[in-house]
Amino acid sequence: MSLPVLQSTIDVGGLSFDPLVWSGPLMWLVLAAFLGSALVQRYDREFARRIAAGGWVVFGAFWLVLVPHFALTQKSLIEGVGSFAAVPLSVYAGYQLYQGRDSLFVLTRAVGLMGLVYVPFITIGPLRQAMVELVTDQTAFLMSLLGFDPLVVEGFTYDGVQITEKQYPYESTFWFEGNSKPITYNILLACTGMGSIAIFAGGILAVSAPWRRRLRALAMTVSVIYVLNLFRNVFIAVSFGHQRMQIFPELVMTVFGLEDPQMVSYYVADRILAQTGSVVVLVGITYLLVRELPEITVLVEDLLFLVTGTEYDLAAAFDSGGESDEAAAPSDD
């Protein structure tokens, strides 16, 4: 895997460390362990258990090296705390699976499938470009419906000014004149919603349920996430580009360590409001998904157990009357 275009070097005690360089190889090891364990499980369950448990430990290391990237480079409280919390949770999941909690095989398979959905967009340039530019065009269209006329540019520079924090020279940058200097808002792969889509797709594909209901649940979640993500992009672009979120600028600049006052609107709109709203939305989508596909409660129950140490029976809580693994409901015939 080649080095990422956008570097995020962290200097600690005179030592330079780039989390994105280290996370790449770890990601491949995790995928190999999780998907490999799913295949081996068909023939040797105990060997698959050891492979998966080791994969969870590597998954913890993956999140550990990304903590400084999210916390220091991205200055994202939610992502920083989330990646930090994922370290012990991943190791604990591996321990529980190794000790005999077989339901975690489903969660292991789900994470592997999540990676299988998302990795092509990281590694295949034309696919990534098509996705990023499609979302950019649709975001621009929605902005035009609201009465805005956004200028979308390509390349790493425009009008003699360098576009900061841009990974690839796609036609994916919204250009605003700004107050003291031009404002640029880049649509990255992370802005396409593919991360969230991959999470739910992996979970849906991993559980044992009739394909008709799995595909229906997949269509519902993908469409909802994709549309809501477009509105999220519009909100951030308008708020940042037109400086609509200059709320407590001195405080925000101090908390996030900002030097440019124009960045206040971005951090308020994205790092505070949009990311908090995304968490709420994903919880709501999970609730709807459990109602549509009760079999997925095995994943939610295991996640809740890993976080709280308490066993839950969500099938009873939702009164879902979920079927056993491969039993189809009458409506699926």
pLDDT in tens, 40-62: 998 999 999 999 999 999 999 99
Structure tokens at 173: 């940058």
- Tell me what pLDDT residue 128 has: 96
Distance CA 270, CA 297 (A): 30
> ∠ CA(196), CA(187), CA(198), 5° rounding?
15
Q: Is the pLDDT of residue 94 over 90?
A: yes
**In which band, very low, low, confident or very high, does the pLDDT at 333 lie, cut at 50, 70 and 90?**
very low
- Tell me what pLDDT residue 127 has: 96
Tens of pLDDT, residue by residue over 292-322, are 999 999 999 999 999 998 888 777 776 644 4
What is the value of pTM for the model shown? 0.87
Residues tagged active-site: 191, 232
- Tell me what pLDDT residue 10 has: 56
Q: What is the mean pLDDT of the chain?
A: 87
What's the rounded mean pLDDT across residues 199-207? 95
- Tell me what pLDDT residue 226 has: 97
Distance CA 313, CA 301 (A): 7
Output the CA torsion 300→95→88→298 (10° steps): 0
Whole-angstrom CA distances from 40 to 124, 183, 195, 228 are: 28, 51, 27, 38
Beta bridge partners of 244: none
Q: Is the pLDDT of residue 8 over 70?
A: no
Contacts for 265 with CB less than 8 Å, ≥ 6 apart = 239, 240, 243, 244, 245, 246
Task: Decide: 163 and 183 in contact? Cβ < 8 Å.
Answer: no
Whole-angstrom CA distances from 148 to 234, 239, 242 are: 10, 12, 10
Tens of pLDDT, residue by residue over 143-173, are 999 999 899 999 999 988 888 878 899 999 9
Instruction: Indicate the SS3 state at residue 291.
Output: helix
Tens of pLDDT, residue by residue over 97-124, are 999 999 999 999 999 999 999 999 999 9
Distance CA 1, CA 124 (A): 11
- The label of the residue with tokens 């031009």 reads 182
**In which band, very low, low, confident or very high, does the pLDDT at 237 lie, cut at 50, 70 and 90?**
very high
Distance CA 269, CA 288 (A): 26
**In which band, very low, low, confident or very high, does the pLDDT at 326 lie, cut at 50, 70 and 90?**
very low
Which has more confidence, 45 or 329? Answer: 45
Q: Which of 251, 131, 266 is closest to 189 using CA atoms?
A: 131
Distance CA 142, CA 186 (A): 16
Q: Which of 229, 220, 235 is closest to 287 using CA atoms?
A: 220
- Tell me what pLDDT residue 173 has: 95
**In which band, very low, low, confident or very high, does the pLDDT at 180 lie, cut at 50, 70 and 90?**
confident
What's the rounded mean pLDDT across residues 11-28? 73
What phi and psi, each to the nearest 5 degrees, are found at residue 308? -110, -20
Per-residue DSSP letters for 98-167?
Answer: HTT-TTHHHHHHHHHHHHHHHHHHHH-HHHHHHHHHHHHHHHHHHHHHTT---EEE-SSEETTEE-TT--
Q: Which of 47, 58, 34, 37 is closest to 114 using CA atoms?
A: 34
